[in-house]
């Protein structure tokens, strides 16, 4: 089948619509064009799935036709809605995971743990203090050791943060 016939919605709108569960599992990044994969509830965690922003009700951008017309299995849920800037239901939870990760590092002081969680959040949000946060996070990660570094790299890919992925690639 021709690729254009296979993705009529994504081709016409540039993006398909994504269906994502409330805990950030992507159930279908091609909601319109591959409806047979749609799920009312997440098969991973049982949470209800959504296809629209919970604040402004516009559709969640899914798979991009123009960027990559072939299904991308590593498609990650966004953190903030592109129309109104509202965080998705899972965003707080993902950022909380960053703090939990930091809290479990054995050889950091309490202040350093708090700092590490804040630094990861700043980097994900690309806050103005990001360069300082990046330097400090690297120093803390070296102090914390290999398993913490690996955990941060894993977290970076889970929360789909390009900034954090780019940073940890240099470690």
Positions that interact with Zn ion (CB under 5 A): 21, 23, 25, 42, 44-45, 47, 53, 55-56, 81, 84, 86
Q: Which of 132, 138, 130 is nearest to 162 (CA)?
A: 130
Q: Which of 160, 11, 169 is nearest to 91 (CA)?
A: 160
Nearer to Zn ion, 31 or 81 (CB): 81
Nearer to Zn ion, 42 or 124 (CB): 42
106 by Cβ neighbours in 10 Å (0-12 / 13-18 / 19+) ranks as exposed
| Least distance between Zn ion and beta carbon 117 (Å) | 24
Nearer to Zn ion, 49 or 168 (CB): 49
The encoded tokens of residue 68 equal: 């990559």
Nearer to Zn ion, 86 or 147 (CB): 86
Task: Report CA-CA distances (Å) from 38 to 33, 133, 163.
Answer: 10, 39, 30
| Least distance between Zn ion and beta carbon 57 (Å) | 7
| Least distance between Zn ion and beta carbon 103 (Å) | 24
Q: Where does the chain have alpha helices with state H?
A: 3-6, 8-13, 91-103, 110-125, 130-144, 146-158, 162-169
Nearer to Zn ion, 51 or 130 (CB): 51
Residue 23: φ, ψ to 5°: -105, 20
| Least distance between Zn ion and beta carbon 29 (Å) | 14
| Least distance between Zn ion and beta carbon 24 (Å) | 7
């Amino acid at each position: 089948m021709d690729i254009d016939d296979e993705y009529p919605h994504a081709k016409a709108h540039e993006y398909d619509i994504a269906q994502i569960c409330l805990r950030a599992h992507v159930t279908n990044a091609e909601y319109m064009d591959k409806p047979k994969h749609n799920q009312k509830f997440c098969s991973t965690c049982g949470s209800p799935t959504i296809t629209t922003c919970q604040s402004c009700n516009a559709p969640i951008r899914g798979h991009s036709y123009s960027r990559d017309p072939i299904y991308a299995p590593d498609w990650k849920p966004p953190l903030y809605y592109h129309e109104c800037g509202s965080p998705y239901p899972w965003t707080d939870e993902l950022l909380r995971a960053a703090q939990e990760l930091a809290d479990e590092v054995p050889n950091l002081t309490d202040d350093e743990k708090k700092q590490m969680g804040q630094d990861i959040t700043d980097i994900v949000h690309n806050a103005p203090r990001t360069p300082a946060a990046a330097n400090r996070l690297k120093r803390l990660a070296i102090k914390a050791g290999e398993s913490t570094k690996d955990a941060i790299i894993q977290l970076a890919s889970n929360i789909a943060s390009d900034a954090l992925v780019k940073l940890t690639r240099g470690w």
